[in-house]
């Protein structure tokens, strides 16, 4: 596999998939806190 | 009117909104556009536009819908002022015009799912003739009717019992199917060649303006940013619901699904195609149907030696397409319905009118694929204008005020910084101006008779149809504004 292919893969998947996982974890965390505080 | 219906939780809202964003465009349009624009070289601008076009506009739609609690006409009028009700009406018109033919496309997916389950599709020798026979028959009309009636039935039950319940089943099912197809595709021999093509940049086209234009339009298309659909679902957000985190999640979630679909299709095509794989991916066919309805069915026959296994994969692929289409269609019908509710009609009557009108005005697209391609072209480009109108509404309201009071207001989990002001105030208008100017200039070379309004896909037909619609809406602006703002909606 060419270096440029690997770099593109890392950038695209890192931003999109990595970003999604990070955001999902944050949302789950906020929801957990909200339900503990009885806000939901 | 006191708001009566809300999505029951954050996850219900996210699932429903992902249902809007994930449509057939993520599955068939995305792969074709990637192939036509140099594989990996397309993906870089596509990710950039996710960040500077789609995400800011999704945040804007969530904010406007949540604060105004009205459909796009009323919400934009409330945000930008009553002189600009026509802008909201244009947003509604564009999404409604897309709904007319999208229902036909949803019907195609259902028809192909039935043909796969019955085994008929895998017995076909010539898929182009099979498609042409289907497209020129009255069957698309029947399936268009079934698609829009099914969606009307769901919407009639309301937000919680209808949209929320349906999307809670359809969206997770769609994701499961896509993941099954993804793993099957990447484990095919030579699938790696497809993945390589998908991610390898072609440096000759990286700075080509056409690639960047396609990256922006594809992003606007597949995230649903600027359509007014997310704005409509945001009406039903709970008061203490977060705006920015949910919005960013939907943008990223949608693009994640596009990548999964892209890898699946490229792996399958490269692994199973005995001829030039790339030609097959880039060939559009009538109304861009080539890859999905003509070429992929051929490949499903080659997945394994077992007819039952091939039938299973073909069936779940078309089922996924149908689910993706139907959840997006649902939001389009809800947008039009909500607009009529804001005009004073009750939900039942509004749905009745929208379903009958949607069915009747979808007939030309069901019977004539050139007409469908024309509408897809005219109103697909119209989405860029819709996005610009939404950004303009926030400018009129005051971007900083909107950011601090609405986006970062009650219930927010994360705060959006000042960068948002620059994107909405400067970057989005620049993108619109550059894009529309570039498109107008280059469209002259696409069609020597670029001015002719009766050609299917040129500048003339877009300018002609936009002018008619915008003129009517501007003339009736005062009526539209008064009717929306002074009517007590009855849910």
pLDDT of A13 higher than 70: yes
Convert the pLDDT of each residue in B132-141 to its tens digit.
899 899 999 9
CA angle B110, B99, B454 (to 5 degrees): 110
Q: Name chain B contacts of A23, Cβ cutoff 8 Å.
A: 245, 248-249, 252
Quote the distance between the C-alpha of residue B65 and its chain's center: 18
pLDDT, residue B108, reads: 94
Report pLDDT for B489: 62
Q: Which of B431, B386, B406 is nearest to B76 (CA)?
A: B386
Banded pLDDT at B441 (limits 50, 70, 90): confident
Chain A residues in contact with B8 (beta carbon < 8 A): none
Name chain A contacts of B242, Cβ cutoff 8 Å. 30
Dihedral, B197, B255, B438, B369 alpha carbons, nearest 10: 90
User: Cβ contact (<8 Å) for B50 and A16?
Assistant: yes
Give which of B303, B293, B13 is closest to B180, Cα–Cα.
B303
Residue range B378-432, pLDDT digits in tens? 998 888 899 999 999 999 999 999 999 999 988 888 999 999 999 999 999 998 8
Contact between A12 and B252 using a beta-carbon 8 Å cutoff: no
Res. B319 pLDDT band, cuts 50 70 90: very high
* Residue B238 contacts A where some CB pair is shorter than 8 Å: no
pLDDT value at residue B453: 87
Give the per-residue pLDDT at B287: 54
Q: Comparing B16-30, B292-306, B376-390, which segment has the lowest mean pLDDT? A: B292-306
Radius of gyration of chain B (CA): 22
Q: Which of A15-24, B84-93, B108-117, B220-229 is predicted with the least confidence, judged by mean pLDDT?
A: B220-229
pLDDT at residue B132 in the model: 87
Chain B 125-144, residues with CB within 8 Å of chain A CB atoms: none
d(C-alpha B359, C-alpha B67), whole Å: 32
d(CA B360, CA B298) in angstroms, rounded, equals 33
- Residues paired with B201 in a beta bridge: B39
Instruction: Using pLDDT thresholds of 50, 70 and 90, give the confidence band for residue B296.
Output: confident
> What is the interface pTM, i.e. ipTM, of the complex?
0.94
Q: How far apart are CA B243 and CA B133, in angstroms?
A: 47
pLDDT, average across residues B4-30? 90
Give residue B274's pLDDT band: very low, low, confident or very high (50, 70, 90): low
Per DSSP, the residues of B2-71 read: ------SSHHHHHHHHHHHH-SHIIIIIHHHHHHHTTBHHHHHHHHHHIIIIIHHHHHHHHHHHHHH-S-
Q: What is the average per-residue pLDDT within A8-31?
A: 94
| pLDDT tens per residue, range B167-221 | 999 999 999 999 999 998 899 888 898 899 899 988 888 778 778 888 888 888 7
Judge whether residue B127 has pLDDT over 90. no
User: Over chain B, what is the mean pLDDT?
Assistant: 90
Phi, psi torsion values for B39, nearest 5 degrees: 55, -115
Burial of B407 (0-12, 13-18, 19+ CB in 10 A): buried
Cβ atoms of residues B362 and B61 within 8 Å: no
pLDDT surpassing 80 at residue B464: yes
CA angle (B467, B387, A13) in 5-degree steps: 140
Dihedral class, residue B200 (left if φ above 0, else alpha if ψ from -120 to 50, else beta):
beta
As given in the structure block, the two tokens for residue B353 are 């009118």
Note whether B44 contacts A8, CB cutoff 8 Å.
Answer: yes
Among candidates A8, A17, A40 on the partner chain, residue whose Cβ is nearest the Cβ of B43: A8
Average pLDDT estimate for B39-66: 93
> Which residues of chain B lie closer than 8 angstroms to A28, CB-CB?
none
pLDDT, tens only, B66-77: 999 999 999 999
Model confidence at B25, in pLDDT bands (50, 70, 90)?
Answer: confident
Where is B306: in which H helix or E strand? none
- B277: pLDDT strictly greater than 70: no
B263 and B255 in contact (C-beta within 8 Å)? no
Position with higher pLDDT, B489 vs B127: B127
Q: pLDDT (tens digit, 9 = 90+) per residue, B336-353?
A: 999 999 999 999 999 999
Q: What's the distance, Cα to Cα, between the start and end of chain B in Å?
A: 9
Of the candidate ranges B300-309, B340-349, B421-430, B439-448, the one whose mean pLDDT is the lowest? B439-448
Does residue B256 or residue A37 have the better pLDDT? Answer: B256
Residues with Cβ < 8 Å from B136, sequence gap 6 or more? none
Q: Give the gap in angstroms from C-alpha A36 to the nearest C-alpha of chain B.
A: 15
Residue B98, pLDDT > 90, answer yes
DSSP state of B201: B
User: Could you tell me what percent of chain B has a pLDDT over 70?
Assistant: 95
For chains A and B, what is the number of CB pairs under 8 angstroms? 66
Nearest CB neighbour to A1, from listed B44, B196, B414: B196
pTM for the model stands at 0.93
Mutation to test the A interface, candidates B9, B193, B199, most A Cβ within 10 Å: B199
Distance (Å, rounded) from C-alpha A13 to C-alpha B113? 31
* Residue B284 confidence class, pLDDT cut points 50, 70, 90: low
d(CA B370, CA B104): 13
pLDDT, position B490: 57
Q: What is the pLDDT of residue B491?
A: 59
Confidence label for B101 from pLDDT (cuts 50, 70 and 90): very high
pLDDT at B33: 84
What pLDDT, on the 0 to 100 scale, is given for residue B458? 83
What is the model's pLDDT at position B104? 96
Q: What is the pLDDT of residue B3?
A: 64
User: How many Cα atoms occupy the beta-carbon half-sphere of B292 within 13 Å?
Assistant: 29
Instruction: Choose the weakest-confidence range: B163-167, B205-209, B270-274, B289-293.
Output: B289-293
Give yes or no for residue B283 having a pLDDT over 70: no
């Amino acid at each position: 596999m060419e270096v440029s292919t690997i770099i593109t893969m890392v950038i695209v998947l890192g931003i999109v998939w990595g970003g999604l996982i990070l955001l999902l974890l944050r949302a789950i965390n906020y929801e957990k806190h909200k339900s503990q505080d009885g806000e939901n | 009117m006191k708001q009566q219906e809300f999505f029951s939780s954050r996850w219900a809202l996210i699932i429903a909104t992902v249902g809007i964003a994930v449509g057939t465009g993520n599955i068939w349009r995305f792969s074709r556009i990637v192939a036509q624009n140099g594989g990996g070289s397309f993906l870089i601008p596509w990710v950039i536009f996710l960040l500077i076009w789609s995400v800011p506009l999704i945040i804007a739609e969530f904010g406007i819908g949540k604060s105004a609690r009205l459909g796009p006409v009323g919400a934009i009028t409330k945000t930008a002022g009553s002189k600009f009700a026509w802008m909201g009406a244009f947003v509604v018109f564009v999404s409604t015009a897309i709904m007319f033919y999208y229902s036909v496309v949803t019907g195609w997916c259902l028809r192909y799912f039935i043909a796969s389950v019955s085994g008929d599709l895998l017995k076909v020798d010539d898929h182009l003739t099979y498609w042409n026979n289907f497209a020129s028959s009255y069957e698309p009309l029947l399936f268009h009717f079934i698609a829009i009636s099914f969606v009307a039935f769901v919407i009639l039950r309301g937000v919680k019992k209808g949209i929320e319940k349906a999307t809670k089943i359809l969206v997770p099912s769609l994701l499961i199917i896509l993941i099954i197809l993804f793993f099957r595709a990447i484990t095919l021999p030579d699938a790696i060649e497809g993945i390589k093509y998908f991610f390898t940049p072609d440096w000759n086209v990286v700075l080509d303006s056409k690639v960047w234009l396609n990256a922006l339009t594809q992003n606007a298309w597949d995230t649903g940013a600027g359509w007014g659909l997310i704005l409509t679902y945001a009406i039903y957000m709970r008061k203490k619901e977060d705006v920015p985190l949910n919005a960013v999640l939907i943008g990223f979630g949608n693009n994640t699904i596009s990548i999964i679909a892209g890898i699946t299709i490229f792996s399958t095509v490269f692994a199973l195609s005995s001829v030039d794989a790339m030609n097959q991916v880039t060939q559009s066919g009538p109304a861009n149907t080539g890859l999905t309805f003509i070429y992929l069915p051929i490949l499903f026959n080659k997945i394994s030696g077992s007819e039952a296994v091939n039938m299973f994969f073909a069936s779940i692929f078309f089922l996924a397409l149908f689910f993706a289409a139907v959840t997006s269609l649902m939001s389009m019908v809800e947008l039009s319905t909500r607009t009529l509710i804001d005009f004073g009609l009750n939900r039942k009557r509004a749905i009745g009118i929208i379903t009958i009108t949607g069915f009747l005005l979808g007939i030309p697209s069901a019977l004539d694929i050139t007409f469908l391609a024309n509408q897809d072209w005219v109103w697909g480009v119209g989405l860029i204008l819709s996005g610009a109108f939404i950004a303009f509404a926030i400018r009129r309201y005051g971007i900083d005020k909107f950011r601090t009071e609405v986006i970062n207001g009650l219930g927010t989990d994360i705060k959006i910084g000042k960068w948002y002001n620059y994107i909405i105030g400067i970057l989005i208008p620049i993108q619109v101006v550059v894009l529309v100017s570039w498109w107008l200039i280059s469209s002259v070379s696409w069609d020597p008779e670029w001015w002719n309004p009766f050609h299917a896909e040129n500048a003339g037909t877009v300018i002609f149809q936009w002018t008619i619609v915008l003129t009517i809406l501007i003339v009736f602006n005062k009526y539209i504004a008064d009717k929306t703002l002074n009517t007590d909606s009855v849910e």
